[in-house]
Amino acid sequence: MLDHCSDNFGYMMSFGSIAGYCYVLFNIRGLLSAGPAWYQTLLIMLYVLVIGFLFYPLFACLTTSWVFVGSILGLGYCTFWLYVHFMLVINCPNGGENGLTGQEIAKQIPVLVCTIGLAFRYLYVLIRNSIRAIKARSAGPFIERVERRKYGTPYNIQYVKNLLAGTKLYQNMSFDALDGEPSWKTKIRALLRQYIYVNDPTLKYSPRIIGIFTVALICSYQFGIIIVLGSYQLEKLVQFLYPNTTAEGNSTVDDSGCSFLRLMVNTVNVSALLSFILHIQPFALDREDRNAVFVLSDSMAYAGSQIAYILWGYIIVWAVLLLTFFALAYLIVLPVFGLISRDVLKYMWNLLSGVLIFYAFTLLQKLFCRGLLQTRISVDSQRKQDTSVILALDNRKIFHNVTYFTFFFYIVLGLFGCLLTIIKGMILGIMYLSRLDKCGLVNGFETWDKGYMNYVSFLHFEECHRHPVWLVFCDILIDCMPQNRNQARLNTYGTVDDVSTDVTYSSSWTALVRPRRRWLKAYTMVRNPSVRAKQIEADYDTLEDIDITDLSDQAIIDVSNTDLPNTGVAHHDQTVMHMDHNDKSVLV
For residue 241, the model assigns a pLDDT of 58
What value does the mean pLDDT take over residues 268-282? Answer: 53
Closest CA to 72 of 83, 60, 61, 82: 61
Question: What's the pLDDT tens digit per position in 447-500?
Answer: 888 888 888 888 888 888 878 887 888 888 877 776 665 555 445 444 444 444
Alpha-carbon torsion angle 447, 451, 457, 458, nearest 10: -170
User: Model confidence over 322-332: pLDDT tens digits?
Assistant: 888 888 887 77
Quick one: average pLDDT of 160-189? 67
Q: What is the rounded radius of gyration, in angstroms, for the C-alpha atoms of the chain? A: 36
The distance from CA 234 to its chain's CA centroid, rounded to whole angstroms, is 38
Does position 388 have pLDDT exceeding 80, yes or no? no
Q: Are 127 and 443 in contact (CB under 8 A)?
A: no
Closest CA to 228 of 265, 257, 253: 265
Poorest-confidence range of 39-48, 206-215, 316-325? 39-48
Q: Measured at the alpha carbon of residue 309, what is the angle toward residues 54 and 224, in degrees to the nearest 5? A: 80
Q: Which residue has the higher pLDDT, 497 or 101?
A: 101
- Identify how many contiguous H helices and E strands the chain contains and give both numbers: 21, 4
> Would you say residue 121 has pLDDT above 70?
yes
Confidence band, pLDDT 50/70/90 cuts, at residue 563 = very low
- Mapped onto helix, strand or coil, the DSSP state of residue 300 is helix
- pLDDT exceeds 50 at position 336: yes
Q: What is the mean pLDDT of the chain?
A: 70
pTM here? Answer: 0.59
- Category of 405 on φ-ψ map: left (φ > 0), alpha (ψ -120 to 50) or beta: alpha
pLDDT exceeds cutoff 60 at 547: no
Give me the DSSP letters along 66-105. Answer: BHHHHHHHHHHHHHHHHHHHHHHHHH-TT-STTPPTTHHH
Kindly state the helix (H) or strand (E) to which residue 579 belongs, with its residue range. strand 574-579
Supply the pLDDT for residue 575: 37
Indicate the DSSP class of residue 538: T
508 φ/ψ angles, rounded to the nearest 5 degrees: -65, -40
pLDDT-derived band of residue 534, with 50, 70 and 90 as boundaries?
low
Mean of pLDDT values over 253-259: 52
Cα separation values, 259 from 65, 100, 241, 256, 320, Å: 53, 17, 20, 5, 22
- Shortest CA distance to 546 belongs to which of 503, 578, 494, 582? 582
Cβ-contact 28, 47 below 8 angstroms: yes
Which pLDDT does position 197 carry in this prediction? 66
In the predicted structure, residue 125 carries a pLDDT above the cut 70: yes
pLDDT at residue 265, rounded to an integer: 58
**Per-residue pLDDT tens digits for 46-90:** 887 888 888 888 888 887 778 788 888 888 888 888 888 888 888
**Percentage of the residues of the chain whose pLDDT score is greater than 70:** 60
Average pLDDT over residues 387-402: 76
pLDDT digit string, tens, across residues 154-170: 777 878 888 887 766 55
Are 88 and 104 within 8 A, CB to CB? yes
Is the pLDDT at 521 greater than 50, yes or no?
yes
State the pLDDT at residue 64: 79
pLDDT tier at 565 (50, 70, 90 boundaries)?
Answer: very low
69 close to 102: Cβ distance less than 8 angstroms: no
Q: Are strands 555-560 and 574-579 parallel, antiparallel or unpaired?
A: antiparallel
Is the pLDDT at 434 greater than 60, yes or no? Answer: yes
Report residue 262's pLDDT band, with 50, 70 and 90 as the boundaries.
Answer: low
CA count, 13 A, side-chain hemisphere, 360? 6
Highest average pLDDT, of 33-37, 45-49, 179-183, comes from 45-49
Per-residue pLDDT, 263: 56
More confidently predicted of 492 and 43: 43
pLDDT at 488: 53
pLDDT at 505 over 60: no
Sign (positive/negative) of CA torsion 37, 38, 43, 44?
positive
Distance, in Å, from the CA atom of 510 to the CA atom of 518, rounded to the nearest integer, reads 12
Out of 96-100, 500-504, 551-555, which region has the weakest mean confidence (pLDDT)?
551-555
Domain range list for the chain? 1-151+205-245, 154-203, 482-587
Beta 555-560 vs 373-379: how paired, if at all? unpaired
Q: How many Cα neighbours within 13 Å face the side chain of 462?
A: 22
- Residue 33: its pLDDT value, please? 59
Could you read off the pLDDT of 212-228 as tens digits, one per residue?
888 888 887 877 777 77
Tell which wins on pLDDT, 113 or 474: 113
Say if residue 110 is exposed, middle or buried (CB neighbours under 10 Å; 0-12, 13-18, 19+).
buried
Cα–Cα dist 59/15, whole Å: 9
pLDDT of amino acid 552: 40
Residue 123: is its pLDDT beyond 80? yes
d(CA 461, CA 463): 5
How far apart are the C-alpha atoms of 265 and 271, rounded to whole Å?
10
